[in-house]
Chain A
Amino acid sequence: AQSVTQLDSHVSVSEGTPVLLRCNYSSSYSPSLFWYVQHPNKGLQLLLKYTSAATLVKGINGFEAEFKKSETSFHLTKPSAHMSDAAEYFCVVSDHSGGGADGLTFGKGTHLIIQP
């Protein structure tokens, strides 16, 4: 079985300061992990994915995430927040063991607020 927990439902940072969005997962197998971003009334857009290659994954718009197997974490970071980063972020885990019928388990999302 697999599961994913986004540890914060809301995160607020000031523009120009670092962003940290936390995601913990559980998986019986070597998982694939994804971060998606969703702006209001839009679909989800892939930020980055981990599929057992390098543990530090670089994504679009300056975001990156580090896969830490010992901590079962896949936290999303960005060195300097921009106003356009304000959105909902979803962590997703996928392996062979199940999750939903599509093999995916979505986190409940973290709402990122950027203060001017």
Chain B
Amino acid sequence: DGGITQSPKYLFRKEGQNVTLSCEQNLNHDAMYWYRQDPGQGLRLIYYSQIVNDFQKGDIAEGYSVSREKKESFPLTVTSAQKNPTAFYLCASSVRHAYNSPLHFGNGTRLTVT
């Protein structure tokens, strides 16, 4: 079955450490996205990529970095510069980056930093 795989499901890190969240899709979608979800809030966009080797900052990119070396992969690194990294992180993809193109989501990674 086609879909988006995020790993790991739960991640624990000490403050000051960088950590990388994995996102892989086999839907052959061009566009991929990273969102952050905090309790009681909607989703906030961290980064998105419309095509391989290209990505743009979202609304809350500070303290995060991404790469898009392959169409199917869009890993997110949470750096030590991110002041409040504990959150639920969701990766998504769409056929193309268009306003009427629905998103397909992975099942998320819950990151806890202590």
Contacts and interface: CB of A to CB of B under 8 A. Distances in A.
A104 B33 CA distance: 12
B40 A101 contact: no
Interface string A91-111: 000111000111110111100
B56 A106 contact: no
B41 A108 contact: yes
Sorting the interface of chain A by its residue count into under 10, 10 to 19, 20 to 34 or 35 or more gives 20 to 34
Interface residues of B, number: 29
Interface of A: 9, 32, 34, 36, 41-46, 49, 51, 90, 94-96, 100-104, 106-109
Interface of B: 4, 6, 9, 33, 40-45, 48, 56-59, 88, 90, 92, 97, 99-100, 102-108, 110
29 contacts: A9-B40, A32-B100, A34-B102, A36-B103, A41-B107, A41-B108, A43-B6, A43-B106, A43-B108, A44-B103, A44-B105, A45-B105, A49-B100, A49-B102, A94-B99, A95-B99, A96-B99, A101-B45, A101-B57, A102-B45, A102-B58, A102-B97, A103-B99, A104-B45, A106-B42, A107-B42, A108-B40, A109-B41, A109-B42
